[in-house]
Amino acid sequence: MRPGLVIRLLVLGLLVAFIFAPGAFGWAFAPLNRPNQPPIYTQSSLLRLTLSHLGIVLGAVLAASIVAIGLAIVVTRRAGEDFLPLSRSLANIGQTFPPVAVLALAVPILGFGNGPTFVALFLYGLLPIFENALTGLTATPPAVREAARGMGMTGWQRLVGVELPLALPVILAGVRLSIVISLATATIGSTVAASTLGEVIIAGLLSNNIAFILQGGLIVAVLAVLIYDGLSAIERRLGRRGGAPLPAA
């Protein structure tokens, strides 16, 4: 077993242990506290907050992936080429407005809770997935497309059987980037009562408890690194299997 994999498994094991039994790690955070401050955040379950945080992120990225890849497919067909500028403008909406502004606009409509955070992450995740899907679908070698046509494949069969499989590593790179960005961005959702790990960080800021801030930040950071590495490994495997160039992102 490679040393890098052993380290990742060890980090994952420590993360799971901390989320399920944070009290056992109180000794590690106690030196960061002021006198009479608790070393571990206990106002809410870290397991519940972590699962909720991941649920909001993965749900938003899934929705963004469906919309962004769908738009990319439409604009790479001959009938939809004219809609490319409009589609790109739609995908850019999330990058134009900061997530905090989206939260502020969404709260009056959706109320406090997870809804505004979901919308902010959905909009923020559209652009990287759309651009990578567009790149992957337009990079299919013309010779491959002609060979598929020569075999009598319909447009739908070429898309599903040839273009999407070849573009999948590049598309997955966009999804990976969107997930990593969303994991960090989701922490601000706790400012509008979303159930995320930002709750731990905000509690630490309000009470000047460095241990709380570190706990929330470490869980988010470790999740981001592990998910990033896992998706990168899948991309490399898909790239080798499909013979497609590995994504640079």
What are the pLDDT digits (tens) for 130-170? 999 999 988 877 788 778 788 878 878 888 888 888 889 99
**In the chain, where are the structural domains located?**
44-242
Predicted local distance difference test score (pLDDT) of residue 36: 84
The share of the chain scoring above pLDDT 70, in percent, equals 96
Query: What is the mean pLDDT of the segment spanning 18-35?
Result: 89
CATH number of 44-242: 1.10.3720.10
Q: What is the mean pLDDT of the chain?
A: 88
Task: Tell me what pLDDT residue 176 has.
Answer: 94
The model carries a pTM of 0.88
Count Cβ neighbours within 10 Å for each residue of 113-147 and write b for 16 or more, e otherwise: ebbbbbbbbbbbbbbbbbbbbbbbbeebeeeeeee
Model pLDDT, residue 46: 94
Q: How far is Cα 140 from Cα 144, in angstroms, rounded to an integer?
A: 7
The pLDDT of residue 1: 64
Rg (CA), the chain: 21
Which pair of structure tokens corresponds to residue 1? 């077993």
Q: Name the one residue in this structure whose structure tokens are 């447009």.
A: 155
Name every residue whose Cβ is closer than 8 Å to that of residue 54 and which is 6 or more positions away in sequence. Answer: 223
| Residue 217, pLDDT score | 94
* Cα dihedral 11, 17, 22, 28 sign: negative
DSSP category for residue 194: -
Q: How many CA atoms lie within 13 A of 219 on its CB side?
A: 29
| Mean pLDDT (whole number) for 183-198 | 92
Q: What is the average pLDDT across 36-63?
A: 93
State the DSSP H helix or E strand holding residue 24, giving kind and residue range, or none if neither.
none
